Chain A
Amino acid sequence: MEPVHHRNQLKPKKSHQMNEPFSKGKANMAQYQHQLTNRTDNAIRRHMRKMIFLYTPLMASVLTGCVQVTAPDKPIVINLNIAIRQEILYKLGPASQKVIENNPGVF
């Protein structure tokens, strides 16, 4: 006759291991899962890599498109360079003399 197992007394060893919250069996299971999912070529990582390769050039082009809006300082530099015309400076000789003589208080 088969012995009758009391609920709290005797259990098969395997189920006992798995029912304990921090049992050795669970630790092994977790380790096994970790080995399955933590591989460098698992499915999620593979797809994320694909996304990075796909979207990095796209994002870069979008960003440079935004930056290009803010750089209209080149014409100003050119304007400064042509602001002083040498032949006009020669022509202004008498005028500058007159300005200084007629406004003694400010020079």
Chain B
Amino acid sequence: MRDSVEMIIAALLLGTTATSAMAFQSGRDPAYQTARESGLVGEKSDGYLGFVVPPSSAVRALVEDINIKRKAVYSKEALANGATVEEMALRTGCRLIAERTVAGEKYQTPSGAWKTRDDSPPQLDARCPQ
């Protein structure tokens, strides 16, 4: 039920709004883009996606799939740079929150709370390079 509603929302957004069209160009899965925009999922400070609200099975599968792929690219890049996967993930997470979240999307503050991104600079992990 909820999945089909999300799919309808995704279809509507894709057809009508410019942001979704841009996201489609940028390579994101439309369902993922919709989940980001509607605040179902957010960027965690550790470099992975998290659930802001208890997820539907479709959203859970989507996020877990993306997180597995993220871990794969973090691992590859960490190995190339003599860093641990956690270091690579944290550093990329800093950048993802600071540069890749747009107003209205959710991110996790160092305290673990979910916050909606607005024009003000986001609260980043203290270990993020400034």
Contact = CB atoms under 8 A, between A and B. Distances in A.
B100 A89 contact: no
A89 B27 contact: no
* Interface residues of A, dominant DSSP: helix
Interface in A90-107: 90-93, 95-100, 102-107
Interface in A60-107: 83-86, 88-93, 95-100, 102-107
B107 interface: no
* Interface residues of B, dominant DSSP: helix
Given A83-B84, A99-B73, A89 B28 contact: no
A92 B84 contact: no
A52 B82 CA distance: 61
Contacts of B95: 96-97, 100
Interface string B89-129: 01110111000100000000000000000000000000111
Contact of A105 (B29, B88, B96): B29
Contacts of A99: 73-74, 77, 88, 92
A105 B29 CA distance: 7
A84 B69 contact: no
Which of A83, A97, A100, A106 is packed against the most chain B CB atoms within 10 Å? A106
Interface in A39-74: none
A107 B73 CA distance: 11
B86 A83 contact: yes
Interface of B: 26-29, 66, 69-70, 73-74, 77, 80-84, 86-88, 90-92, 94-96, 100, 127-129
